Amino acid sequence: MVKLSLSNRLLTALKSPESEPPLAGDLPDLRAKASTRAAVLIAITDRDEPGVILTERHERMRTHAGQIAFPGGRAEPGEQAVDTALRESFEELALAPADVEVVGQLEPYGTVSGYAITPVIGVIPPDLPLQPHEAEVAAWLEAPLSRLLDPDRQRRENAVFGGRERQYWVIDWGDIRIWGATAAILVNLARRLKWQS
């Protein structure tokens, strides 16, 4: 039996239907207002046990301080999602666009802060010398793809936001807590890939 490359495994999985409908975003009335385009890169390392590159935002950041996130950000005028994800990944981690093999995108995810985030999926070589941008990124980490996509490790929690109770997704990996839009995007990725290591 021929073993498919990671890129081919991802491409094949992305062409199949989701196991469940994707999460469209946070609170329904707020996600409908999500109009600021943004993109993130789901950078998956090409190794026997693939990992996902995540960043820890600096505590001094104005928004989402200390949170675990994908590299990414707001789109520039006229910029496509892939271009945004690659540009932001280079700015945040010195991840060269030439090192990313883009294999697809997920549906945009609308956030309570007004962003419509398009996740871009890319395969990168393992062990790249990534350098966090000192003003934005406190550290970067590589979490096991199989663990992040395991439905048994994904759970919903409740919190009050804007005077209303809302549910959000959480994924724990050791003492690392991934929540909010990043966790929800990982839930969507799991539903799309139905990953098995």
Report if residue 197 sits inside a domain.
Answer: no
pLDDT (tens digit per residue) in 3-17: 668 999 899 889 888
Q: pLDDT: is 25 or 39 the higher one?
A: 39
pLDDT (tens digit per residue) in 90-101: 999 999 999 999
Report if residue 129 sits inside a domain.
Answer: yes
Show the domain range for 101.
Answer: 6-192
Report if residue 103 sits inside a domain.
Answer: yes
* pLDDT level of residue 51 (50, 70, 90 thresholds): very high
Average pLDDT over every residue of 21-31: 72
Report if residue 34 sits inside a domain.
Answer: yes
Provide the Cα torsion 66, 132, 175, 150; round to 10°: 110
Q: pLDDT: is 114 or 32 the higher one?
A: 114
Average pLDDT over every residue of 133-141: 89
Report if residue 39 sits inside a domain.
Answer: yes
| CA distance linking residue 97 with residue 39, whole number of Å | 14
Number of independent structural domains in the chain = 1
For residue 143, count other CB atoms closer than 10 A to its CB: 18
| CA distance linking residue 30 with residue 166, whole number of Å | 11
- Residue 23: its pLDDT value, please? 87
- Residue 28: its pLDDT value, please? 64
Q: What percent of the chain has pLDDT over 90?
A: 62
* CATH at 102: 3.90.79.10
Report if residue 126 sits inside a domain.
Answer: yes
Q: Kindly report the pTM of this predicted structure.
A: 0.91
- Residue 169: its pLDDT value, please? 94
Average pLDDT over every residue of 116-140: 94
| pLDDT value at 196 more than 60 | no
| pLDDT value at 162 more than 80 | no
| CA distance linking residue 74 with residue 111, whole number of Å | 13
Report if residue 35 sits inside a domain.
Answer: yes
Report if residue 36 sits inside a domain.
Answer: yes
Average pLDDT over every residue of 127-152: 93
